């Protein structure tokens, strides 16, 4: 494969990854890493480095549009980003000393359960809106988002649980080179009872900061190669922009199906790669 062909293939793959990452809140890294490492033969460390940059691009491409539309909850994002950034730095440093095989398998098993919950449970378009608990009211985390042409107010609960899960999401980002959007969305949607569209868009707002914290460590170790990273970043940025246009008009149930299928594929991928020692 020539350098030009390689660049074009990586760009096309990254465009699809960015579209999927923006649509589901997962970040493009869940597609970028396995394709680069397994299909194109890129060293896993360089694939992770390029993936982290792509996650930053996904967040940059999607976050501005979601904030403008009124979906992202910036106050929640900034609070939870404290936990994810600390976790990301810790995970990136531990990556040099800890085998990720077992972590990948455990992560995959958790995602299988999460995919089941997303595909089977809470399948109605009209989501249950909860009242904020005492801590959420004190932090003023409740807000509103556009729903059927109106402004729908919502509350937030279980802030400490969500904060703890975000630290784990950040650690996984640093260890495996993914945005950990799956864990972020689950933490906000399931634990904190935030509406699904708000969870996915706030996840997109957050994953860029999380990935940037990890990318700094990988950059210092020389694992970010511009020949791989540039087409990945450009492709993901374009795909993320397209994804934002689709999400704001999509039905919640449709997004849950997409989310469930994607993380189920990711789960199988992670488990197999962990068992075979490829992660």
Task: Name the helix (H) or strand (E) containing 187.
Answer: none
Between 166 and 28, whose confidence is greater? Answer: 166
Task: Name the helix (H) or strand (E) containing 279.
Answer: none
Per-residue pLDDT for 118 more than 70? no
pLDDT at 252: 62
d(CA 154, CA 130): 6
Q: Is the Cα torsion angle 45, 46, 49, 50 positive or negative in sign? A: negative
pLDDT at 127: 63
Q: Return the domain boundaries, the chain.
A: 3-275
pLDDT at 123: 45
d(CA 249, CA 252): 9
Write down the mean pLDDT value for the chain. 81
What's the pTM? 0.72
Interhelix angle for 3-24 vs 226-247, to 10°?
30
Phi (first) and psi of residue 193, to 5 degrees:
60, 35
Per-residue pLDDT for 20 more than 80? no
């Amino acid at each position: 494969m020539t350098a030009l062909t390689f660049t074009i293939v990586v760009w096309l793959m990254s465009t699809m990854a960015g579209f999927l990452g923006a649509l589901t809140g997962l970040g493009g890294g869940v597609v970028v890493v396995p394709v680069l490492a397994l299909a194109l033969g890129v060293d896993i460390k360089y694939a992770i480095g390029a993936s982290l940059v792509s996650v930053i691009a996904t967040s940059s491409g999607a976050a501005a549009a979601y904030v403008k539309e009124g979906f992202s909850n910036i106050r929640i994002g900034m609070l939870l980003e404290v936990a994810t950034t600390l976790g990301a730095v810790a995970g990136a440093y531990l990556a040099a000393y800890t085998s990720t095989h077992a972590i990948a398998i455990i992560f995959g098993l958790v995602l299988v359960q999460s995919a089941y919950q997303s595909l089977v449970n809470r399948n109605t378009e009209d989501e249950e809106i909860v009242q904020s608990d005492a801590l959420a009211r004190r932090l003023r985390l409740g807000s509103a988002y556009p729903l059927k042409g109106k402004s729908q107010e919502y509350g937030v609960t279980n802030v400490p649980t969500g904060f703890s899960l975000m630290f784990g999401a950040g650690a996984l980002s640093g260890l495996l080179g993914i945005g950990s959007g799956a864990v972020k969305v689950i933490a906000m949607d399931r634990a904190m009872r935030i509406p699904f569209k708000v969870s996915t868009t706030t996840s997109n707002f957050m994953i860029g900061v999380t990935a940037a914290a990890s990318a700094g460590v990988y950059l210092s170790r020389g694992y970010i190669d511009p020949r791989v990273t540039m087409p990945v970043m450009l492709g993901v940025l374009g795909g993320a922009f397209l994804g934002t246009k689709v999400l704001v008009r999509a039905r919640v149930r449709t997004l849950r199906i997409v989310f469930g299928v994607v993380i189920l594929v990711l789960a199988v991928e992670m488990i197999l790669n962990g068992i075979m020692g490829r992660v």
